Chains A and B, each alone.
Chain A
């Protein structure tokens, strides 16, 4: 090669044919990826969850299976099944079910708003803030679900104690211990399962979001 001079090579460099690889539609597709996609996944998962629990809820309300198993526990404790008791229980059950579905519906809506917000938001700083906000919503969703679970169990326990009192039923210490232990263990187990479910399903996506968030912050700090 003759002597190489970078300055005289500038023209060749600038005129190098660069293949125009991407069309407008491909570029538009690139914008819809990553973070926004994760948020979208969470929105769709929560929507699917809402649908699933609504169907399960309706199914049980029609079948009355869950109610029966609960009434069976009462039966074992020696409680007399009266129509009045069943009606009260059915009402409590329905209210709790609707409450739980309302909470899920509310969060589905929140996830939708977040998703939409992130879609419209372009500014880097706001984008980061939106993701943080979204993570908070997801965490609140998880916590409220667990709280609801504990509340429902407590309400049913109180209900049982109330019934035992009104029917003047004396239960032996062993039965009482068994009942309390059963309630506590099953509650703790269910809470753990719910927690595990959310950690796995939402945790993976949140982790990816976190990684993006760190990258975004890095980019921003570089640009300042």
Chain B
């Protein structure tokens, strides 16, 4: 099959691939938070990469890489995986938690439990918690989700309480 890749595009593709490779942790985290199986997780990862590529031009230099990646990744997860990313009912928590017990590290067990707990939240709330945990300023969180900064703060304060309750309950 002939290749129609021009040299300029090839170098741009490489540059992009490198960027994704270096920042794949962020995409993997979003994919993990919005899916309930490894297969869906990999699907979502690919979908996010595609959407990032399509908006790569409009991004260049306009905002921080992480902000842009979060915006595209979360929008993709929320929009495209609406059905697959259904919130887990809380009574499924124990079963899902059991999947992660294999982690030796105590901290990693907690991280796994936190994933499970976050997955019980609605889509937008999941996104808020994730960006908050990764230290994005409220301004960026609000902008990425199309809500006001005040609204993001109020939601996050409520979410802190909910997460604390859940984490302590299921630990």
Interface residues of A in 185-219 (CB under 8 A from B): 215-216, 218-219
Q: List chain A positions with a Cβ less than 8 A from chain B.
A: 1, 3-7, 9-10, 12-14, 16-25, 27-28, 30-31, 33-34, 115-116, 119-120, 122-124, 127, 215-216, 218-219, 222-223
A-B contacts besides A5-B164, A9-B110, A215-B80, 8 pairs, CB < 8 Å: A12-B107, A14-B133, A18-B24, A25-B17, A120-B9, A123-B57, A222-B75, A223-B55
B-chain residues with CB within 8 Å of residue A116 when the two chains form the complex: 4
Given A24-B21, A28-B17, A115-B4, the answer on whether A219 and B76 have CB atoms closer than 8 Å is yes
For B1-23 the 0/1 string (1 means CB < 8 A from A) is 00011100100111011101100
Given A14-B134, A22-B24, the answer on whether A127 and B79 have CB atoms closer than 8 Å is no
Main secondary structure of the interface of B (DSSP, over half): helix
Q: Measured between alpha carbons, how far is A151 from B135 in the docked complex, in Å?
A: 68
Q: Is the CB of B72 within 8 A of A30?
A: no
Q: Is the CB of A4 within 8 A of B51?
A: no
Is B29 engaged at the interface, CB distance under 8 Å to the other chain? yes
Q: Measured between alpha carbons, how far is A28 from B51 in the docked complex, in Å?
A: 13
Shortest beta-carbon distance, B22 to chain A, in Å?
A: 9
A-chain residues with CB within 8 Å of residue B46 when the two chains form the complex: 30, 33
Q: Is the CB of A31 within 8 A of B13?
A: yes
B-chain residues with CB within 8 Å of residue A25 when the two chains form the complex: 17
Q: Is the CB of A27 within 8 A of B168?
A: no
Q: Measured between alpha carbons, how far is A120 from B3 in the docked complex, in Å?
A: 12
Q: Is the CB of A215 within 8 A of B79?
A: yes
B-chain residues with CB within 8 Å of residue A17 when the two chains form the complex: 108
Q: Measured between alpha carbons, how far is A59 from B71 in the docked complex, in Å?
A: 58
B-chain residues with CB within 8 Å of residue A115 when the two chains form the complex: 4
Q: Is the CB of B135 within 8 A of A10?
A: yes
Q: How large is the interface on B (under 10, 10 to 19, 20 to 34, 35 or more residues)?
A: 35 or more
Is B50 engaged at the interface, CB distance under 8 Å to the other chain? yes
Provide 27 A-B residue pairs closer than 8 Å at the C-beta atoms, listed in order of the A residue: A1-B110, A1-B167, A3-B164, A5-B164, A6-B133, A6-B160, A9-B114, A9-B133, A14-B133, A18-B24, A22-B45, A24-B17, A24-B18, A27-B17, A27-B20, A28-B17, A30-B49, A30-B50, A31-B53, A33-B46, A124-B55, A216-B54, A219-B51, A222-B75, A222-B79, A223-B55, A223-B71
Q: Measured between alpha carbons, how far is A12 from B16 in the docked complex, in Å?
A: 29
Is B90 engaged at the interface, CB distance under 8 Å to the other chain? no
For B67-87 the 0/1 string (1 means CB < 8 A from A) is 000011001101110000000
Shortest beta-carbon distance, B117 to chain A, in Å?
A: 10
Q: Is the CB of B24 within 8 A of A13?
A: no
For B137-171 the 0/1 string (1 means CB < 8 A from A) is 00000000010000000000000100110011001
